[in-house]
Amino acid sequence: KAGVTQTPRYLIKTRGQQVTLSCSPISGHRSVSWYQQTPGQGLQFLFEYFSETQRNKGNFPGRFSGRQFSNSRSEMNVSTLELGDSALYLCASSLAPGGLDTQYFGPGTRLTVL
Amino acid sequence: GQQVMQIPQYQHVQEGEDFTTYCNSSTTLSNIQWYKQRPGGHPVFLIQLVKSGEVKKQKRLTFQFGEAKKNSSLHITATQTTDVGTYFCAGPWGGDMRFGAGTRLTVKP
């Protein structure tokens, strides 16, 4: 069974631009969660989608948004990029939502904002 | 802030020494999970604990879930250089998965 895939793997953007990251979960998984990982802040929860509905959102500004499609693939968008948005963005898929099931992580997208 | 607290933040050991990381939650958890992230990699699931007082072993790794289901620990016996990485605990909090800040383990050969 194929693992979680994320595209692109690396991105370089400048301040003020916007970016869209994509995540394809493991086949059969309907829950997709997004995390931001920085050296100083660890893994910070962004949001979780289950069956195309956003179940929860972490403490991030409205510039961070996401969606999930009917095939469970998910995208996250960051608008008006700031230097502090530079981070590794990880998505994870699971069978059940809400932290009740094992999360399988993708390799991440490394975003650098200049 | 982190709802799941993890200590220590860093641990440097000599190969062959033991290592323990601790995880504490402000609320009772239905389950706790442990993940390992190698340098340059992504978190990989190690184990899930569900029952109060549960103890599980994976070779040199021993995982415990506290009686009150608010704390957990991961103990590695006789560390090896392959154990290098960051170990995270995680649990359902407020309807989604929240991760501890992680314990970064380095091993000197």
Q: How confident is the model over B43-81, as pLDDT tens digits?
A: 999 999 999 999 999 999 999 999 999 999 999 999 999
Strand partners, A23: A6, A74
Q: Classify B83 as helix, strand or coil.
A: helix
Q: Do B92 and A100 count as a contact with CB atoms less than 8 A apart?
A: yes
Q: Is the peptide bond before A61 cis (omega within 30 degrees of 0)?
A: no
Distance between CA atoms of residues A86 and A84, nearest Å: 5
Q: Is the peptide bond before A97 cis (omega within 30 degrees of 0)?
A: no
Q: Strand B96-99 vs strand B55-58: parallel, antiparallel, or unpaired?
A: unpaired
B88 contacts in A (CB within 8 Å)?
A: 42-43
- Overall average pLDDT of the A74-98 stretch: 96
Nearest CA among B59, B105, B55 for reference residue B84: B105
Cβ of A45: how many Cβ atoms within 10 Å? 23
Q: Is B96 near chain A, with CB under 8 Å? A: yes
Predicted pLDDT of residue A96? 87
Work out the burial of residue A114: count CB atoms within 10 Å of its CB; fewer than 13 is exposed, 13-18 middle, 19 or more buried. exposed
Using pLDDT thresholds of 50, 70 and 90, give the confidence band for residue A84: very high
Predicted pLDDT of residue A103? 93
Query: Does the pLDDT of residue B3 top 90, yes or no?
Result: no
Predicted pLDDT of residue B97? 84
From the list A55, A92, A108, the residue facing B95 with the nearest CB is: A55
Query: Does the pLDDT of residue A46 top 80, yes or no?
Result: yes
Q: Classify B59 as helix, strand or coil.
A: coil
Angle subtended at Cα B82 by Cα B79 and Cα B88, rounded to the nearest 5 degrees:
80
Cβ of A11: how many Cβ atoms within 10 Å? 18
Q: Is B22 near chain A, with CB under 8 Å? A: no
- Overall average pLDDT of the A67-88 stretch: 97
CA atoms within 13 A on the CB side of B1: 4
Q: Do A103 and B2 count as a contact with CB atoms less than 8 A apart?
A: no
Q: Which pLDDT tens digit goes with each residue over A98-107?
A: 888 899 999 9
DSSP state, residue B9: S
Predicted pLDDT of residue A72? 96
